[in-house]
Amino acid sequence: RRRGTVPELPEVETVRSDLEREVAGRIVRRVEALGVRTLRRESNPARLRARLQGRRLTAVGRRGKYLILRFGGDDAAVVHLGMSGQLLWAAPGTPRPRHTHVVWDVDDGWELRFVDPRTFGAVFLSAGPGPDGEPAELAHLGAEPLDPRWTIEELRASLARRRSRLKPLLLGQRVVAGLGNLYTDEILWEARLGPERAAGGLTGREVGRLHAATREILTSAIAHRGSSLADEQYRDLYGRLGGYRPLHRVYAREGAACPRCGGRITRAAWLGRSTFSCARCQG
């Protein structure tokens, strides 16, 4: 079976850095919002036009899997790629692909396009920054795992006394932001921790391994510009594939030998999703 890649932190960060280099500094001439479901919260096409047209995109940020397009002052548009969303940089006159839901038309005629067949993605205007300066709508998100301020102690404290199993907790975005099904499996393998371990039962040493593995896997995946699997669904701003796939240790490798211990990698169906792990060396 072909298994898909959906954008998680490394893929979103790759798009963020592409946007920062390519689109930041340009003025948005026109905004078109064509998607019925894509605009979320209080946003609608008229409000998007009123707030963004004629404005300069000053910077592009990221929080978890959310992209933040900053337009100066407190004005920001938040983009989530959902499961099939792509932000694509397109030359003037290039035909728009199917499922193009939002288009930012910049000063020289190039277009930033939000293309999203499954419409799980989202675009909305932020109502304003929260206490941390990020859009208030993202205040529920947990730690930013590559932020140097994220410590082992903070992770230990947020896992303590939690009865949830490790994998669902990491997928929940409230302890750590930005992990999805693929990188959670890769991180738990790297940390030698079973996905069904009770989160509150980790030793100090195991919390340290989880913290280090999270940083290591995400940093490596960003360096390879993210993962694209067989469906070639994930693309960067220029439509190119990510290069991290050959480095996957467990994800979508059911039946293969564990690269660490030679055990058999298994797939378990869980809460409506797949979990890949090595039962022999993940304790």
The residues binding DNA (CB under 7 A) are 1-4, 6, 8, 37, 64-66, 80, 82-83, 98-99, 117-120, 122, 140, 162-165, 168-169, 171, 173, 180-182, 230-231, 269, 271-274
Q: Report long-range pairs for 202-205 (Cβ below 8 Å, ≥24 apart).
A: 202/159, 202/166, 204/156
Query: Is residue 65 annotated as part of the catalytic site, yes or no?
Result: yes
Radius of gyration of the chain (CA): 20
Minimum Å gap between C-beta 53 and DNA is 25
Minimum Å gap between C-beta 252 and DNA is 8
Instruction: Give the C-alpha separation, 246 to 249, whole Å.
Output: 8
Query: Is residue 117 annotated as part of the catalytic site, yes or no?
Result: no
Q: What is the DSSP letter of 41?
A: T
* Residue among 232, 222, 264, 227 nearest 242 (CA): 227
Minimum Å gap between C-beta 275 and DNA is 8
Q: Which is nearer to DNA, 28 or 193 (CB)?
A: 193
Query: Is residue 273 annotated as part of the catalytic site, yes or no?
Result: yes
Catalytic residue among 65, 70, 225, 253: 65
Minimum Å gap between C-beta 17 and DNA is 19
Query: Is residue 167 annotated as part of the catalytic site, yes or no?
Result: no
Catalytic residue among 7, 135, 145, 195: 7
Residue 74: C-alpha distances to residues 16, 37, 126, 215 (Å) = 19, 25, 8, 30
Q: Which is nearer to DNA, 6 or 23 (CB)?
A: 6
Beta bridge partners of residue 266, listed in sequence order: 277
Active site residues: 7-8, 65, 273
